[in-house]
Homo-oligomer: A and B are copies of this chain.
Amino acid sequence: MLKDFVKLEKPEEEEFAKRLEEERSKLFAAQMKIKDAGLPVMVIFEGWGAAGKGSVLGKVIKNIDPRFFRVKTFPKPSKEDLRYPFLYRYIKEIPEKGKFAFYDTYWMEEITDERMEDLLSDKEYEERIDSINKTERTLVDNGYLVMKFFFQIGKKEQKERLEKLLDDKDTKWRVDKGDLYENKHYDDCLEVYDQYLKDTNNPTAPWYIIDSKDKKFAELQVLEFLNQGIETALKNKNLASPILQNVFPLKKTPLLKEVDLKDKTLTDEEYEEKLDKLQDELRELHNKLYRKKIPVIIAYEGWDAAGKGGNIKRITGALDPRGYEVLPIASPEPHEKARHFLWRFWTRLPRTGHIAIFDRTWYGRVMVERIEGFCSENDWQRAYNEINEFEKELTDWGAVVIKFWVQIDKKTQLKRFKERQANPEKQWKITDEDWRNREKWDKYETAIDEMIKKTSTEFAPWYILESVDKKYARIKALEIVIDRIKEACDKDKKD
């Protein structure tokens, strides 16, 4: 793309001034439309060192009120960054609805740098590209406008600019080793950049190559493309997106009504004995996975009063408090609701070697949000695949992902609701909403059956915990957690 892109012709002075003025006013006017439409806009600036990304960025944002945009830069990943999936620090910074986020380099630079330094194998490179393309698609499908600009200048032009910067002690720091390396190996870099642009030139988030020899003209090009992109996105606001075909092998799962809840019990003696043994085992394993830096994500879903809390407690009872976190998920706060539904889970991921236990999860999208109409049908229909892709990212990163559905029958729920209401210490656990949800039992059952069927992937299957006898469910959960962690530790060859 870089080698054969068609340069736009710079208009004559008078027309140039007129068009620039027009585009600036258009962007100024667009900010309120964006706010009203709740459109989140990501504007990504990539390109050669000293190509003028920063100065064009500075000009573009002059047309926007500071309430409506943020600028974010991404230095090389820190040690801490490296303890999270590659996508983590980028997704963390996606904008809220109705606002702009400008990025002075986003994930491209990290990848192409690593590619130049031979730190990424072909396979790893392909995985990154795949992650990015999927994420961009998910963002666009969820209403984001993603505008990607690559600032192109020639080798000679870059050299001159770098030399000028180096000449002044107050601008010298702007030139880093990477820029000099880039200029020295211009042709090799060109290959790598060109390949990346081709690999990520998505129809719904295409690349725009900006001829940046003339900075003022670069500004005009960016403004024109950006305004055009905004216009299109505003028109498409309520467009539904394709529901993709499933590409992940699924495990066979039972319907909830087929789950046998009888005879799944333990005596108190059996329970105590097993609990002690298993907790000891898990305690040991926690040390091991910490050392091997394996992240673990345990997701709990289940009927109200099914016993999630007590079940979680038996897991955490065996864990070092510095190495795990229980994340209770309530309805999203305003700043969370203003972003893609997976954002608040991305930002809560554990570091490598740590365990995150989610008490309710991202599956709210296809349960409560579906049933209460908090999102459109197209949204929750798409979510099965979005969730599978999310969990695939996690397992590719090396995480153990364990999903529990804690199952009881309707009669047992009623009994427990009544018990809770009778016990002053537990009354806070039962609310009117619980009773309302109970009335929708059948709707939920349909949704849950569909959810379990569509998201029981081989890499992140659901486990059903029969919890009419809570003791039985707790032991089963411990056994599964131990098995899965053991398996991951064994796979990890280093010792």
Contacts and interface: CB of A to CB of B under 8 A. Distances in A.
Nearest to A495: B169
Contact of A78 (B79, B313, B320, B357): B79
B65 A321 contact: no
A89 to B, nearest CB: 12
A73 B312 CA distance: 21
A76 to B, nearest CB: 11
22 contacts: A28-B425, A29-B425, A54-B320, A54-B321, A57-B322, A61-B321, A62-B313, A66-B312, A66-B316, A66-B326, A66-B328, A71-B322, A78-B78, A78-B79, A102-B321, A104-B322, A169-B495, A170-B291, A171-B287, A173-B287, A333-B334, A335-B335
A19 interface: no
The 9 closest A-B pairs by CB, nearest first: A66-B326, A170-B287, A67-B328, A58-B321, A71-B321, A57-B321, A73-B322, A170-B288, A173-B291
A325 interface: yes
A466 to B, nearest CB: 23
A319 interface: yes
Given A62-B316, A73-B322, A171-B287, 15 more contacts: A29-B425, A55-B320, A57-B321, A58-B320, A62-B313, A66-B327, A66-B359, A78-B78, A78-B80, A102-B321, A104-B321, A169-B495, A173-B290, A333-B334, A333-B335
Contacts of A290: 173
A492 interface: no
A296 to B, nearest CB: 16
A284 interface: yes
A368 interface: no
Contacts of A309: 65-66
Interface string A292-309: 000000000000000001
Interface string A21-32: 000000011001
A206 interface: no
Contacts of A327: 66
A361 to B, nearest CB: 14
Contact of A333 (B67, B284, B333): B333
A70 interface: yes
Contacts of A73: 322
Give the interface residue-count category, chain A. Answer: 35 or more
A254 interface: no
A322 B70 CA distance: 10
Interface in A328-369: 328, 333-335, 357, 359
A467 to B, nearest CB: 18
Contacts of A319: 58
A373 interface: no
Interface string A255-299: 000000000000000000000000000001001101100000000
A360 B180 CA distance: 42
Interface centre among A174, A322, A328, A335 (most CB of B within 10 A): A322
Interface in A152-166: none
A78 B55 CA distance: 30
A317 interface: yes
Contacts of A102: 321
A61 B357 CA distance: 15
A50 to B, nearest CB: 13
A54 B322 contact: yes
Interface in A68-82: 70-71, 73, 78-80
Contacts of A325: 70-71
Contacts of A173: 287, 290-291
Nearest to A426: B32
A357 B309 CA distance: 44
